Structure 1
Amino acid sequence: MQTNLSESARTLPRADEAEQILRSCVHCGFCNATCPTYQILGNELDGPRGRIYLIKQLLEGEPVTQKTQLHLDRCLSCRNCETTCPSGVKYHALLDIGRAELERRVERPAAQKLLRDGLRRVVPRPAVFDTLLKTGRLFRPILPGALGRKIPKRSVAARPRPAARHERKVLMLEGCVQPSLSPNTNAAAARVLDKLGISVVDAARAACCGATDYHLNAQEAGLTRARRNIDAWWPAIEAGAEAIVQTASGCGAFVKEYGHLLRDDPQYAHKAQRVSALARDLVEVLAAEPLEALEAVRTPGASGKAGAQPARVAFHCPCTLQHAQKLGGAVEGVLQRLGFDLTAVPDAHLCCGSAGTYSITQPELAETLRNNKLDALESGKPDLIVTANIGCQTHLDGAGRTSVRHWIELVEDSLP
């Protein structure tokens, strides 16, 4: 695509990267065929090709408005288009660059600013989020319906974690909202890893991965969180930790970007590259281990009960796992190795509508996408749906249909 950045755009820190991405697009339109928002809205500007044109106009100095912002806001950042694109266009990076510049040039309505600032002040802070969640659950019966439905009802209490006792050690990103919404997920992961001879060591100062800030266009705040995590993890990395494990694929996708996003930071470039190289989704760790040692017991029974497995399971593969991390099929492979009966899921490549904070900032589109995804997941009549990302888990489970849990809890429940 022929591109001529404006003089102002050429001063941006990532101007060369933006120009390179724009030039790599041959505007073939294959991306629209797999774009969830284009399929629903049918508007060229709500598909990747149209959004690329909007960003091109922005960076070439053309006038932009709140309408431009709306079309970019509606993007889920699911990266399905990148999986489809024959030219290898790095759409998500261009979108980040365009959104950041648009945020500087177009004033948001007060209500939007308040919502987005509120999300940034709550979601990355586990103590604040936990307090508000508990308060919301207490008052849920008297809250307006739309707000009340956003407050999850279900969670599985955390069970004790094993002490670090093995020579092999890994770090684990605890996450922001997962300790409150699904407190047993990381504990279950630690217990399964322990059975494989791998101990999880604590890095108390590690916190939010930075994705929430970054994708709400507070990009420097997101990178500041990334630097803090690098500092928190570095002593354990120097002591020989072999991986940084994420049980939330959304966090994992962002941590794997640290090296790229901080490549021009002289203090953190090398460390960020090392951290990204060590970042592993939980399934990457388990898939490389002799799972037969777990001696999983297939005992069909009611879902969600320790020691029993549901007869049929549907796996929802989050976009951040299949499109961002290119690990589509990995969890399914592990579950099948352990003897689980997986149902077929039509259109498994499409987003569920969670997409970080998208289900809050774009609730109508998110609900439509969720209903479509649940229809697909439930088409094989599973007893339980499992996934690999806390945002997807909470969003899908919030519909009150088939129960949704993290896949590692299913695995742990099956162990003797």
Structure 2
Amino acid sequence: MQTKLADFVKDTPEGREADAILRNCVHCGFCTATCPTYQLLGDELDGPRGRIYLLKQMLEGQPVTARTQLHLDRCLSCRACETTCPSGVRYGRLADIGRGMLEQKVRRPWLRRLQRWALRKLLPYPERFGAALALARLARPILSATLRAKIPHKAPAPAWPAARHARRVLMLEGCVQPAMAPGIDAAAANVLDRLGISAIRGEGSGCCGALSYHLAAHEEGTAFMRRNIDALWPHIEQGAEAIVSTASGCGLMLKEYGDVLKHDPVYAGKAERVSLLARDIGEILAGEDLSPLRKSKPCRIAFHSPCTLQHGQKLAGLVEPLLSDLGFELTPVDQPHLCCGSAGTYAFLQPDLSQKLLADKLRALEEGRPECIATANIGCRAHLQSGSKVPVRHWIELLPF
């Protein structure tokens, strides 16, 4: 794709990066075949190719409007288009760059601004979110059935094992997961303990920064990233072999710290090191002898591979063989590449599209009559459970320890 960037952007690091991404696009349209929003809406501008044209127009200095913003807001950032692109176009990175610039050019209505601000000021902060969730649980009896379904029940978490092994990995504290499902990280720590690996909490770390960054609050997002690097760095210097995430969305963001902060003179090197150490929990288990974890009576499950795992981290097909080898029976899932509609804050900001995607995904997952639906990301877990009577768990919770 030929480009001629406007003066306001052409000599900036972001402009040069966007220009390189745009020039890789050959207009083939393969991406539209796997784009969930294009399949729902049938509008070229609600598919990757159309959105790339919109971003190109903005970067070349053409006028942008609220309609431009609407089509980009409808994008899930699921990156299914990246999986099918024969030219390797980094659409997700282009969208992040473009959204940041577009936010400065098109002012949203005040209610939309308030909504996005509230999400940014609540969800990334564990104490704030935990308090809000506790109040919501108290109010559950007076809420509608629809709202009740969105509030997870409180569940006890297993005890975190003591650090007793020579092999050690770090685990990011995270933001919503400690309040919504504290058992996930604890289960992962116990599973790793059985395999001879100690999981160390990254005290002082927290939200990976993805929520703010993908909502075009780039400075806020990178501040979270730098905070995490500072918190994790002493452990990295002491020889931690990996930074393990049980939330595939956080894992993807960790793997992109080096890319996002590559122009930061202070943090570029450390960010690259963090990205090189970042691993999904499935990547750790894939390299270990899992025989101690085989269950005598494994259940029949449908596995939902989050977009951040299969399209973002390019780890499609990582977890399913692990579960099969452990004796679980996996039911077939039609069109597993499609998004469930959670997509970070998408379920809040685009509820109608999100619910349509959820209904389609649950039909596919429940078709094989599983006893349980397993996934690898906290947002997907909560979103799927809000519409399903089948229990939804993180797959690591299904393993014995």
Shorter-chain TM-score bucket reads: over 0.9
Partner-residue secondary structure (3-state), 2:250:
helix
The code of the aligned residue for 1:405 comes to R
The code of the aligned residue for 2:81 comes to C
Which residue does 1:306 correspond to in 2? none
Partner-residue secondary structure (3-state), 1:28:
coil
Where do residues 100-139 of structure 1 align in structure 2 (5 Å cutoff)? 100-139=100-139
Alpha-carbon distance in 2 for matches of 1:295, 1:396: 26
Which residue does 2:157 correspond to in 1? 158
Where do residues 8-19 of structure 1 align in structure 2 (5 Å cutoff)? 8-19=8-19
Aligned pair 1:392/2:391, yes or no? no
Deviation at 1:150, TM superposition (A): 3.2
Partner-residue secondary structure (3-state), 2:13:
coil
Q: Is the 8 A contact 1:298 1:340 kept in 2?
A: no
Which residue does 1:25 correspond to in 2? 25
Which residue does 1:298 correspond to in 2? 296
Q: Please list the CA deviations of residues 210-230 of structure 1 after superposition, one character each: whole Å capped at 9, or x if unmatched.
A: 001101110111111111111
Deviation at 1:382, TM superposition (A): 0.4
Q: Is the 8 A contact 1:65 1:106 kept in 2?
A: yes
Deviation at 1:266, TM superposition (A): 1.3
Partner-residue secondary structure (3-state), 1:230:
helix
Where do residues 8-407 of structure 1 align in structure 2 (5 Å cutoff)? 8-143=8-143, 147-152=147-152, 154-292=153-291, 294-299=292-297, 309-310=298-299, 312-407=300-395
CA spacing shift, 1:389–1:295, aligned 2, 3 Å: closer
Alpha-carbon distance in 2 for matches of 1:314, 1:142: 33
Deviation at 1:12, TM superposition (A): 3.7
The code of the aligned residue for 1:344 comes to P
Alpha-carbon distance in 2 for matches of 1:163, 1:358: 38
The code of the aligned residue for 1:181 comes to M
CA spacing shift, 1:324–1:230, aligned 2, 3 Å: same
Alpha-carbon distance in 2 for matches of 1:381, 1:130: 34
Q: Is the 8 A contact 2:36 2:338 kept in 1?
A: yes
CA spacing shift, 1:335–1:267, aligned 2, 3 Å: same
The code of the aligned residue for 2:229 comes to I
Q: Please list the CA deviations of residues 222-262 of structure 1 after superposition, one character each: whole Å capped at 9, or x if unmatched.
A: 11111111111111111110000000000000000001111
The code of the aligned residue for 1:386 comes to A
Quick check: 154-163 or 74-83, which moved more?
154-163
Q: How many residue pairs are counted as aligned between the two chains?
A: 401
CA spacing shift, 1:143–1:156, aligned 2, 3 Å: closer
Partner-residue secondary structure (3-state), 2:329:
coil
Deviation at 1:401, TM superposition (A): 2.3
Deviation at 1:104, TM superposition (A): 0.2
Structure-2-length-normalised TM-score: 0.98
Deviation at 1:174, TM superposition (A): 2.4
- Structure 2 residue runs without a partner (length 5+): none
Alpha-carbon distance in 1 for matches of 2:278, 2:293: 27
Deviation at 1:2, TM superposition (A): 1.2
State the Cα RMSD in Å: 1.2
- Structure 1 residue runs without a partner (length 5+): 300-308
Deviation at 1:333, TM superposition (A): 1.1
Alpha-carbon distance in 2 for matches of 1:9, 1:40: 33
Partner-residue secondary structure (3-state), 2:314:
coil
Alpha-carbon distance in 2 for matches of 1:79, 1:219: 19
Deviation at 1:145, TM superposition (A): 5.8
Deviation at 1:203, TM superposition (A): 2.3
Q: Is the 8 A contact 2:173 2:203 kept in 1?
A: no
Deviation at 1:13, TM superposition (A): 3.3
Alpha-carbon distance in 2 for matches of 1:234, 1:368: 42
Identity among equivalent positions (%) equals 60
Q: Please list the CA deviations of residues 265-307 of structure 1 after superposition, one character each: whole Å capped at 9, or x if unmatched.
A: 1111111111100000000000100111x142222xxxxxxxx
Deviation at 1:181, TM superposition (A): 1.0
The code of the aligned residue for 2:97 comes to I
Deviation at 1:79, TM superposition (A): 0.3
Q: Is the 8 A contact 1:205 1:229 kept in 2?
A: yes
Q: Is the 8 A contact 1:176 1:207 kept in 2?
A: yes
Partner-residue secondary structure (3-state), 1:8:
helix
Q: Is the 8 A contact 1:155 1:183 kept in 2?
A: no
Partner-residue secondary structure (3-state), 1:398:
helix
Alpha-carbon distance in 2 for matches of 1:340, 1:150: 28
Alpha-carbon distance in 2 for matches of 1:237, 1:74: 38
Deviation at 1:155, TM superposition (A): 4.7
The code of the aligned residue for 2:31 comes to C
Partner-residue secondary structure (3-state), 2:315:
coil
Partner-residue secondary structure (3-state), 1:165:
coil
Alpha-carbon distance in 1 for matches of 2:270, 2:5: 32
The code of the aligned residue for 2:239 comes to G
Alpha-carbon distance in 2 for matches of 1:11, 1:124: 33
Partner-residue secondary structure (3-state), 1:14:
helix
Which residue does 1:408 correspond to in 2? 396
